[in-house]
A and B are shown apart, each in its own frame.
Chain A
């Protein structure tokens, strides 16, 4: 008995570049809007931005 050729169905999803992209896990998505964590990130990002502003004004 000959083996039937195996069919590879290329799904619509596989045709799109998004299929090959990384995707966030549930924990990452949760942290993106988890209030206490985001309050900390708000402070941290602002701090980082202030450093960059300071460095960018060194020529002044």
Chain B
């Protein structure tokens, strides 16, 4: 009998746990540890943030789903790893602290044969003074954040209906943010809803981003064949904003947010500020702050985790200049180099480097997009890690299945207005996610499979994905037939 512990019940962890349960025998134990009681389909938080969806439509409780499928669920947060066990118990273990109300604060050691760290990101609002919910800006990173954002947004709409003018600033709240796609999506949805409410003429919408060019999305942009040209993604993104009257500021590191005012440094080193009535600014990500200890209780955190808190896996972490980055630097198995029974999946693994070219302001401030790890690769990585663990439980001595982001593609649908007849969405397919200039010397990507277009069809696909992936996450009949 084997016990596999999965830390985190987001897209990657939940996928891994579900496939482990499907592939392993009933004698094997799957334990999921997650501090939150519910699953959140994060891509649809955008619609909660503009008041189109109730938060209940993008979350569901995990406990009943896991109970019905024979997965043990502990509502707790992981605190520390003991991959070698302790002097008194040689079993690998993770120390958890319960967040379930009835057991809040209680600590427990959970032993494991294999562990998947799928803890996702810590939303590092503290990296920017005054950033985040409860302070001076809003977010759509969680369903609760999105609920608060929609409340503020709908209040402002009522005031605009009375004739007041308002400025909305949407974007990234730090020079090292990722997830620009979500900020882009929120900006265009917000603009669409302003029109739907008949107050567009009373609103100024500004997109404020750390990207070097619009459409970078942390992937160094993409190239798309369109109308007889190979065109960079900034052309399409600028076009979409220009057509909708959204202004933009790029190459910006937000360093401080005060009530109604954001202060930022540009890549050129200028200090600027912008006033707002509402700001939805995404935070940078870091690891959740797990510690690791050896058998004697010595801190081995730097051996297991990178300085940013993400877990080291089979990537090439040697520091090298942008010109020497290779697609093979990226991990294939997501296995810890120090411990064979320890894996990371989804956002929790430490990328070897960024994808976008790193740039630094004259003051030494890094201002560029961090690498993205969206739903599709996160789920595929979770499934692949689960497959490898199943093989190792059955006697394999090492992982054999791979899911390198330099060998897989991603499909991303960014809503640009939610209406079944007049709405649109930007559908983007990228292959591979991490450019491979050895296979595709000119652009790093296969242009036969890399595409992007805006249209109503994209909105229908976004709706389809919303229902399909929530169905799958609920582990309803036939869930495993729905691809990641």
Contact = CB atoms under 8 A, between A and B. Distances in A.
Contact of B456 (A18, A38, A49): A38
A49 B455 contact: no
Contact of B403 (A32, A51, A60): A60
A1 interface: no
A8 interface: no
Contacts of A22: 235, 238-239, 242
B239 A21 contact: yes
A57 B243 CA distance: 38
A5 interface: no
B244 to A, nearest CB: 9
Interface string B409-441: 111000000000110100101010000000000
A6 to B, nearest CB: 28
Interface stretch (B43-51, B166-174, B446-454): B446-454
B106 interface: no
Interface in B118-163: none
A52 B259 CA distance: 44
Interface residues of B, number: 44
A29 B455 CA distance: 9
Contacts of B456: 32-33, 35, 38
Interface stretch (B82-90, B181-189, B340-348, B457-465): B457-465
In the complex, which range does the number of interface residues on chain A fall in? 20 to 34
Contact of A51 (B238, B402, B449): B449
Given A18-B247, A33-B455, A58 B387 contact: no
Interface string B367-402: 000000000110010011001000000000000011
B34 interface: no
Given A18-B242, A22-B235, A48 B451 contact: yes
B65 to A, nearest CB: 24
Contact of B404 (A35, A53, A59): A59
Contacts of A39: 457
A16 B247 CA distance: 7
B408 A24 contact: no
B293 interface: no
B113 interface: no
B248 interface: yes
Interface of B: 235, 238-239, 241-243, 245-248, 332, 376-377, 380, 383-384, 387, 401-404, 407-411, 421-422, 424, 427, 429, 431, 449, 451, 453-458, 460-461, 483-484
Closest 5 CB pairs of A and B: A59-B402, A56-B408, A18-B242, A21-B242, A21-B238
Given A39-B457, A41-B455, A53-B411, 10 more contacts: A18-B241, A32-B455, A32-B456, A49-B411, A50-B483, A51-B449, A52-B429, A53-B483, A57-B408, A57-B484
